[in-house]
Structure 1
Amino acid sequence: MSYAVENWGSGADRIVLVHGSLGVGAAAFGEQKPLADTFALAVMTRRGYGDTAPIDAVDVLRDAADVIELLGDGAHLVGTSMGGIVAMNAAGRRPDLVRSLTVIEPPAFALASDLAPVRRVAEAMRKHWATADRTKRHAFVTGFLAALEMNMPMPDPLPPPVNAAAGVLVTERPWSVDAPVGAVADARFPKLVVAGGWSEAFDGISGRLADLFNVECHCLQGAGHAVQKVGEPFNALLRRHIASA
């Protein structure tokens, strides 16, 4: 199995949801299940995660091709964290299939490398990947979160889903991923950028991205990096965004 999809709801308008690096598939978007009262949600599990086949390394462009396949003849697209990078790559390649785009704190560090907090976090991640023992997953995840300046203690041993996701995380290079921001900015579909207000670095990245898209950066506090987990405030914002499409 290359990638997996869990479907919620049967509305006429479809939403494709793309997860990030540690919260996977439906676990990343459980708070969005109420949207199934109106929409048909396709919750993606990217290659290498969950019960999909093992991979050698994360490939954002390959994941983007999978998202394009999921878009079918057109859908709204939501990506959180690294899923936001994947979503932007899909949207840049096939803007004709995207009804609207929502990105939640994507790690587009290069976009805001002139900002000191962004440079600081990117450098901390580079150092962590260069020095950490990738076979010791709890230590690796703990160091990753510390590099992100995220206060999120992890149990030892890691919960099985997080432990499995960590095996994929070690193959990423989060500080160096690219997204076709120009192509997305030029596309006619509505764009929404959401930040969590917990991180100077991610606030800086999200604000810069919103400026490039010529849209407002919305801040929803209370769930840290996984902003969608605030639940109804995010869902209400997404409903309004989709209604504008």
Structure 2
Amino acid sequence: MSEIAVVREGSGPEVLLVHGGASPRTTWAGLDPLADRWTLTFVHRRGYPPSPPTERQDFEVDAVDLAPLLAGRPHVVAHSYGVLGTLIAAAAAPGRVRSLTLIEPPLNYLAPDDPEVARLERIGDAVLTQGMDTDPADLREFLRVAGAPIGDGPLPEAVLAGVQRAHGARPTSEARPRLDAIRAAGVPVLVASGDHTPALERICDALAEALDGERSVHPGAGHFVAAAPGFIDRLETFLRLNPGHRPQPQPVR
């Protein structure tokens, strides 16, 4: 496969930014001031120019693409669908990650008995498998959760393009990253959310517990938590407190 595109800005320790269903520019709005002190490496997942096109969004492919980008042991910040490939890549080589900041991932299996989480999984998988043929009410509910700028009228062209790009993607319900490998290696983890959807809050609570990670909540920007008040300060504090993670030695079996 041809390589994906990355764009680097700033100087200092590297922070690898992995977007989800929205573009890097939309996802990471608000983090620009960090470039004064950090090297921000913006990943463009397949299907997002200038990276190569793809017939199908797939978190397993994302993990393969991300693996070589961990060679410099960056801090990694990932959002939504982008968290899935990030966790797979990090679990395969936890010593190559200084820290993980994980924002509102669709890891619905972590809250198996929660009816609101189950509903979120159902409508999310419907959008990925059916695209614009998804029940209109379910489609709009999912788009609002995902932070799409929609009202009561026709969907904007940019939103339609996003739905079409997501159509046929590998369903998030198939993702089972090796969280135990990340926790066992002692990777510092921050799990962040925007306090706009109870189901996502409970998923993030469960993920933080599974990874023995820190937890933070930043209302004000919906799903695009990176733009929420206070997030950039919380993130930079977390990065500075974890400058040189090394994996914990594992017992010989």
- Which residue pairs with 1:113 in the alignment? 112
Q: Indicate if the aligned counterparts of 1:104 and 1:194 stay in contact, CA closer than 8 A.
A: yes
Match for 1:211 among 193, 197, 209? Answer: 209
Q: Which deviates more from structure 2 when the two are superposed, residues 47-56 or residues 186-195?
A: 47-56
Question: Residues 221 and 53 from structure 1, CA distance in 2 versus in 1: closer, same or farther, beyond 3 angstroms?
Answer: same
Q: Does 1:197 align with 2:185?
A: no
User: Which residue of structure 2 aligns with residue 102 of structure 1?
Assistant: 101
Measured in 1, the distance between the counterparts of 2:4 and 2:75 equals 19
Measured against aligned partners, the alpha-carbon deviations of 1:125-183 in whole angstroms (never above 9, x if no partner) come to 344556x4x3x49x7897444147637552745344x4443332112213332322111
| Structure 1 runs not aligned, ≥5 long | none
> 1:216 is matched by which residue type in structure 2?
E
Moved more, 2-11 or 101-110: 2-11
| Aligned pairs (5 A) from 1:51-130 | 51-128=50-127
Answer yes or no: is the 8 Å Cα contact 2:29–2:226 preserved in 1.
no
Name 1:20's counterpart in structure 2: 20
CA contact (8 A) 1:50 1:164 kept: no
Change (3 A) 1:78 1:145: farther
Counterpart contact for 1:95–1:184, Cα < 8 Å = yes
Matched with 2:150 is 154
Superposition deviation, residue 31 in structure 1: 1.1
**Is the partner of 2:102 in helix, strand or coil?**
strand
Quick check: 1:220–1:234 contact (8 Å CA) kept in 2?
A: yes
SS in 2 for 1:31: coil
Match of 1:235 in 2: 232
Pairwise CA RMSD: 2.4
Partner of 2:245: none
Candidates 179, 184, 187, aligned match of 1:186: 184
Q: Distance in 2 between matches of 1:74 and 1:148?
A: 34
C-alpha distance in 1 between matches for 2:136 and 2:30: 24
What letter matches 1:209 in structure 2? Answer: L
Residue 117 of structure 1, CA deviation: 1.3
The whole-number CA distance in structure 1 between the counterparts of 2:236 and 2:97 is 16
Which runs of structure 2 are paired with 1:141-180 in the superposition (5 Å)? 143-147=138-142, 150=145, 152-154=148-150, 156=154, 158-160=156-158, 162-172=159-169, 173-180=171-178
Q: Which amino acid aligns with 2:208?
A: A
Q: For residues 140 and 19 of structure 1, what CA distance do their matches in structure 2 show? A: 26
Sort the Cα spacing of 1:48 and 1:111 in 2 relative to 1 into closer, same or farther, 3 A: same
Cα distance in 1 between the residues matched to 2:238 and 2:160? 34
Task: Answer yes or no: is 1:40 the counterpart of 2:39.
Answer: yes
Moved more, 190-199 or 116-125: 116-125
User: 1:157 and 1:146 mapped to 2: Cα distance?
Assistant: 13
Letter aligned with residue 10 of structure 2:
G
| Partner Cα separation in structure 1 for residue 217 and residue 234 of structure 2 | 11
Aligned-residue offset at 1:216 = 3.3
Q: Percentage identity across aligned positions?
A: 29
